[in-house]
Amino acid sequence: MQIENRVRELVEEKIADRPELFLVEVKMLPNNKLIIHVDGDEGISIQDCAAISRHVGFHLEEENTIVQAYNLEVSSPGVGEPLKLKRQYEKNIGRLVDVKLPGGDKKEGKLLAVDEAGIIIEESVKEKGKKAQLVETQIAFNNITEVKVLISFK
């Protein structure tokens, strides 16, 4: 945890002058793999990831923060990664999302809005014998287990 906190500080320090970039998460895995997910309102470039990696790696080495050998991986969250921050939801407004609810229920629809309390999606609801209708559904964050952006290849 101490390592993750120091890495968070180093990343925030490196992107402080880039308000469009934001730290999503830092994870130190048991296999000594240090994963840093950084994103941007318009995405993040490989050059930005490399600069963050150099900055963090340099300081961790200088400070001898991690004594054992480790792998450092800096990237944007992968396509299949769940959304974690409000800012990630905002970035994905207008896209199709898969929402997992407690108890295993799921909803799928277009992400229309996000606020401090939750999200609004537009889902297609079909009642028996009737044509499907688009319905706006508000879902509170405390009723959400996980949200992933769905990728369409149409």
Using one digit for the tens of pLDDT, what is the confidence trace for 1-17?
A: 689 999 999 999 999 99
CATH of the domain at 34: 3.30.300.70
Residue 78 has a pLDDT of 85
101 lies in which domain range? 86-149
Residue 128 has a pLDDT of 84
Query: 2-15 vs 46-63: helix axis angle to the nearest 10?
Result: 130
Pair of tokens at residue 30 = 């048991």
With CA atoms as reference, report the closest residue to 35 among 71, 65, 3, 5: 71
The Cα 115–Cα 86 span in angstroms is 8
Tell whether 7 and 36 lie within a shared domain.
yes
Name the pTM for this structure: 0.84
Q: Is residue 127 part of a domain?
A: yes
> How many structural domains comprise the chain?
2
Residue 102 has a pLDDT of 94
All residue ranges of the chain with pLDDT < 50 are none
Residue 18 has a pLDDT of 97
The Cα 114–Cα 131 span in angstroms is 28
Adjacent-strand bridge partners of 38:
23
